[in-house]
Amino acid sequence: MRLEAGKPIKASKQILGGEKPLVCIPLVGKTREAIISEANNVPVIAPDIIELRIDAWNFIEDVPRSIDMIGEVHKIVGDTPIILTCRGDWEGGFKKVDDGAKFAVYAGAVELAYVDFIDAELKYGGEKLGELLETLRGTKTSLIVSFHDFKATPPKEELFSIMEKEIQVGAHVAKLAAMPQREEDVLGVLEATLAIRRKYPDVPIISMSMGPLGAVTRLVGGVFGSDLTFAVGSKASAPGQIPVAELRKCFGVVYP
């Protein structure tokens, strides 16, 4: 038995925070043709959930076109839940995207019920994240508040503090990813995840240590409280992601 979330989130037929961590693949195509191609491949790969990385799109600041594109993907993937992410270039995003366009696309996709989760960085602070929560009020879309460090891993006490701040600003899901420089960094992510799950047992968590050294967290993170892991679909969106088929084989052993 793993430590499940006390208040898991149901998205279509999937449960974030349930008996097993969900397997998510990123869609990172840049053009309409590439995005449609990746979306058409989703039923073949059969992930539990997908992340639509719209910061990769070469037309992302065209708000109406981007919202329409999200609608097309939503129609293609059917019951597969969607995390909508426009990652800031200062935190691992593909390129710089105007915040006005980013949040306008978010609002449009939420209003039309195209997505199940939106991801916003903790760096935006309580006021902006509060505005997002107001946008989500009364909808079925949940807010993931996230933090990423692609260069290093803060001490485990700081990792705990980061996730705690995410929860305190109203995150429905707290997310953290960091790059390890040594084995102790990997253990720090797992320890911080476990501590957060125990102090805030109701809140679903997504956590991982990145790169080859941190890949083990993508396999066993769920034992310590992480409720989702990212895998490679067509292309990886972060270092250390494992192909879906291989990940599922490992999950069959870790989460029988």
Structural domain contains residue 173: yes
Per the annotation, does 136 bind a ligand?
Answer: no
Q: Is 16 exposed, middle or buried (0-12, 13-18, 19+ CB in 10 A)?
A: buried
Structural domain contains residue 3: no
Model confidence at 84: pLDDT above 60: yes
pLDDT in tens, 189-219: 999 999 999 999 999 999 999 999 999 999 9
Per the annotation, does 87 bind a ligand?
Answer: yes
Per the annotation, does 137 bind a ligand?
Answer: no
Structural domain contains residue 233: yes
Q: What angle do CA 147, 145, 100 make, to 5 degrees?
A: 95
Structural domain contains residue 105: yes
Structural domain contains residue 132: yes
Structural domain contains residue 82: yes
Q: Say which residue the tokens 């990746």 belong to.
A: 38
Average pLDDT of the residues in 151-158: 98
What was the pLDDT predicted at 232? 82
Structural domain contains residue 4: no
Residues belonging to the active site: 148, 175
Model confidence at 30: pLDDT above 90: yes
Spell out a b/e string for 108-128, using b for 16 or more CB atoms within 10 Å of the CB, else e. Answer: bbbeeebbbbbbbbbebeeee
* Torsion angle of the four alpha carbons 187, 189, 190, 191, in this order, in degrees rounded to the nearest 10: 80
Q: Which domain holds residue 131?
A: 9-250
Structural domain contains residue 220: yes
Per the annotation, does 53 bind a ligand?
Answer: yes
Per the annotation, does 181 bind a ligand?
Answer: no
Task: Using a pLDDT cut of 90, give the percent of the chain over it.
Answer: 89
- Domain at 19, CATH number: 3.20.20.70
Average pLDDT of the residues in 178-183: 97
The token pair at 200 is: 């805030």
Model confidence at 128: pLDDT above 80: yes
Model confidence at 183: pLDDT above 60: yes
pLDDT in tens, 2-29: 899 999 999 999 999 999 999 999 999 9
Per the annotation, does 248 bind a ligand?
Answer: no
**Average model confidence (pLDDT) across the chain:** 95
What was the pLDDT predicted at 2? 85
What was the pLDDT predicted at 241? 75
Structurally, the chain folds into a number of domains equal to 1
What was the pLDDT predicted at 242? 80
Per the annotation, does 241 bind a ligand?
Answer: yes
What was the pLDDT predicted at 240? 61
Task: Using a pLDDT cut of 70, give the percent of the chain over it.
Answer: 97
